[in-house]
Amino acid sequence: MIKIEKNSKMVGFSAATIIARQLIKKPNSVIAIPTGTTPIPMYEAIVKLVEHRIIFTQKARFFNLDEYVGLTRENPMSYAYYMKKHLLSKIEKVQHDIPSTDTRNPEEEANNYEKRIEKVGGFDLCLLGIGVDGHIGFNEPGTPFSSITHVAHLHPSTIKRNSKEFGKTVPDIAITVGIKTIMKSRSIVLMATGTEKSKILKDAFWGEVTPDVPASVLQLHPNLTVLVDEKCATEITSSANDFHWMNL
């Protein structure tokens, strides 16, 4: 299903309500969560839902999708820091896991992370953003659909985009949950906002299913929700009649 919301804030709110429904149904749900600009409104909405005691997160188990290799947790560019800033410092203690940032042996940490996910039975719900190159997590174009959690070399377009934030020392390696691990989730929600993502949204969900566009694999998932804002939806709404599976 694709749902077009008015703006990025509403996309975030919509994603937060899906998390809320999941936690009401199963308080100890295992939930994969993304970082980046897109999910910030979702975290703001979750914090409000927790503050108003509509949802309780103490039993939830959150796993981040990815983390850069070579940064300490205290580094403001790390995703561990991002999570602390946008969620963890604002709600009661939750069970949260993220690949270790400053590990000397990233391959071993990637394997261990996959095992930690497996140990709790995989993801009940997986929230995703999408890169302009079609990546999900840090599964860049060309990543096999059979990949589990692994060390990823970032695509030049991702490095270029990140250089706006990092300056010269942009990390080029990350640990990411793999495509197979994502696809095993019981349900998946992908968020995309802004005109910058309108082309890749069309390629990913109305184009060929191919490792060249990693997010396209999600077309095969039986329980997928795509949340987009009006700016991002321009390319798909202009030719909506061609799209057989769009369920507005």
34 or 178, CB closer to ligand PGA?
Answer: 34
Which tokens hold the place of 198?
A: 């309108």
DSSP 220: G
Q: Least distance (Å) from ligand PGA to the CB of residue 94?
A: 22
Place of tokens 């990815």: 66
37 or 239, CB closer to ligand PGA?
Answer: 37
User: Alpha helices, DSSP H only, in 34-188?
Assistant: 40-51, 79-83, 106-119, 156-166, 179-183
β-pairing, 66-68 vs 173-176, is antiparallel
β-pairing, 150-153 vs 173-176, is antiparallel
Judged by CB under 6 A, does residue 122 bind ligand PGA?
no
- What mask of x and - would describe binding to ligand PGA in positions 125 to 154, judged by CB under 6 A? ----xxx-----------------------
- Residue at shortest CB range from ligand PGA: 36
Identified binder of ligand PGA from the candidate list 22, 38, 216, 225, rule CB under 6 A: 38
Contacts with ligand PGA by CB under 6 A: the residue count is 7
Identified binder of ligand PGA from the candidate list 28, 37, 72, 239, rule CB under 6 A: 37
130 or 224, CB closer to ligand PGA?
Answer: 130
Judged by CB under 6 A, does residue 36 bind ligand PGA?
yes
Place of tokens 């019981």: 186
Judged by CB under 6 A, does residue 171 bind ligand PGA?
no
| Helices and strands (DSSP H and E) totals, the chain | 8, 10
Please state whether 53 falls in left (phi above 0), alpha (psi between -120 and 50) or beta. left
Would you tell me which residues interact with ligand PGA (CB under 6 A)? Answer: 34, 36-38, 129-131
